Amino acid sequence: MPLTDTAIRGAKPREKQFKLSDEKGMYVLVKKAGKYFRLDYRFAGKRKTLALGVYPDVTLAEAREKRDDVKKLIRDGIDPAQMRKANKAILVVQNANSFEAITREWFIKHSPNWAESHAIKIIRRFELHIFPWLGNRPIVEVTPPELLAALRRIENKGIKETAHRALQNCGQVFRYAVATGRAERDASADLRGALAPVKHGSMATITEPKKIGELLRAIDGYEGTPVVQCALKLAPLVFLRPGELRQAEWTEIDLDNAEWRIPGPKMKMKFPHIVPLSEQTLNVLCDIHPITGQGQYVFPSIRTDSRPMCNNAVLAALRRMGYAKEDMSGHGFRAMASTVLHEQGWLSDVIERQLAHAERNKMKAAYNYAQHLPERREMMQAWADYLDTLRSSEKVVPLFGTAKGE
């Protein structure tokens, strides 16, 4: 008599395991540990047993469907046990040949020859921007459109340079897979020209951790006026536009609440802006307060206290420090922060709001200047701490632990 669900559910374990028979060789093996669907069959003259699942995760109806599928394989001359082993072997090979597995193999092989900071930056780029979309895919099945879709996500965050670097790194992985017999071709080769070009020029910046550290140490050693040196120290910490930085007024800065509120008319987008002040930023402001705190401007002109310092004061200081126009610009501190913070995994919306980038909806922008403020406070302090790490050590380990992933 065929089994019923009621009979299976009501079967109680005994001292020894026992069987509840169904039809066509299928039965339920009742143990103290649980109830298991099994199928006895003969293939090539040998008696064999195949597991069909555990009750109640697999229902009686589902077990019978599996039984019928197995019977069909046997009629077609296929041993279901051997087929199951083959399928498992295929899965093992596919997992070993996934895009992430091969990338990590490539990374382990080549990273000992790289600077530690460079190695961490590369693997972090894969973990943030590529693995979530392509990591589990067998590398041989990854198509150029799939790769482009992942790269477009990076590009749409405004970090075009990172997208280009990710494409280059993916190409290295594909070529490694081809060389080791796990892929037939480099899928990245078809994407030449598919990404928007990175525009370099007046926005020259530095994003390599070691070079950022060198720049920060050069700023610390700058021998110009204290006002210009303090402006230089603040530039990477607050990453404002040069005009917004130089026009800072003491009335806008609340040292007690660690906030700098810039009125809309001073901002490029004409909307108010809030800059959460890290401990390091507060220290710089406290250093300069005895010098300029009695006047209107934080960074007054050398000629008169009634005007802020000139437009090119920070730029001229960079040139005197030996940084040419193709190396670093006044705006470059913004690009530096944007690139590195995105690569560290901070939410794009938080970064863009702190950069005070344009909001398409002007009405919305007028009210959203305080958006994500708690996250921005956390990010600005983590960014300042990270800069301290770069400044104090020539062997840099990027600080990713506090970043907020996308």
Active centre residues (catalytic): 241, 268, 331, 334, 357, 367
Q: Two tokens at 176?
A: 């490694």
Inter-axis angle of helices 373-392 and 226-238, nearest 10: 120
**Closest Cα to residue 151, out of 180, 182, 130?**
130
Q: Virtual CA dihedral for 79, 85, 86, 88, nearest 10 degrees?
A: 150
DSSP letter at 270? S
The radius of gyration of the chain's CA atoms, rounded to the nearest angstrom, is: 32
Asked if 244 contacts 264 with a C-beta cutoff of 8 angstroms, the reply is no
Q: Which residues pair with 54 in a beta bridge?
A: 36
Q: Closest Cα partner for 222 from 286, 151, 284?
A: 284
Provide CB contacts within 8 A for 91, sequence distance 6+: none
Q: Which residues of 337-372 are buried (b: 16+ CB within 10 A; e: fewer)?
A: bbbbbbbbbbbbebbbbbbbeebeeeeebeeebebb
How far, in Å, CA of 84 to CA of 302, rounded?
A: 81
In angstroms, the CA 10 to CA 369 distance is 64
SS3 state at 342: helix
